[in-house]
Amino acid sequence: MPLRPPRAILFDLDGTLADTAPDLAAAANFLRSEHGLEPAPYEVLRPVASAGARGLIGAALDIHPGHAEYEALRVRFLERYEANMVTHSKLFDSIPAMLAQLEARGIAWGIVTNKAARFTDALVPQIGLGHAACVVSGDTTPPPKPHPAPLLEAAKRLQLAPEDCWYVGDDLRDVQAGKAAGMPTVAAAWGYCGHTEPASWDADALLHAPEKLLELLEPSPI
């Protein structure tokens, strides 16, 4: 079934618009080096990059929230990441052209991420996303995704009804948040995707490349 044409498209950040996994993985491997361990393979760390400190510390050291060492490691991870978060991070190759096409068609676009504003505010302008119509970070609203509050806040800032916005993300919680907010959802299978198959997320559309989003905007043939 064709999606309702959007007036705005909202995007997750890590793994959807930007390939930030190299710098996130480097921060996790820094923790391993402090523990006298060899670096974890990038292929192990990349899938959990969208889960931030929780996912990367878990994958790198098998230490999770609730563990006695976790909070100190989380603080250390975030400090290291903050100091090096634009070393290798960049937009996925076809993202700039795709965003330019949205703007040319009069479709606003914004960012809704679980990344804290401490990092989002510094990262977004440095990787070429400073012209987003809105940026909602993980601590902008009290509950982050998969709660719908961040997406509803973004729609409010754009002065649009939620159903007039699409949400695009590379994690199951992105689809869950979008559905809870009443937005059509697009699974970004080019991203990190965790350890679940995007086809199982029940998104309204599943795409394997950013430029394919433009094809969804074309009228369906009669």
- Dihedral, CA atoms, 128, 131, 136, 138, nearest 10 degrees? 10
Q: Tokens for 97, please give them.
A: 């052209």
Closest to 74 (Cα-Cα) out of 62, 84, 65, 86 = 65
**3-class SS at 9?**
strand
Q: Tokens for 149, please give them.
A: 């509050």
CA atoms within 13 A on the CB side of 55: 19
**In the 8-state DSSP scheme, what is residue 219?**
P
Q: Which amino acid is at 138?
A: G
Q: Which amino acid is at 39?
A: P
What's the residue count for the chain?
222
The single residue of 12, 23, 164, 170 carrying the catalytic annotation is 12
Beta partners for residue 213, in sequence order: none
Give CA 154 to chain center in angstroms: 14
19 flagged as catalytic: no
Distance, CA of 148 to CA of 143 (rounded, Å): 8
Annotated catalytic residues are 12
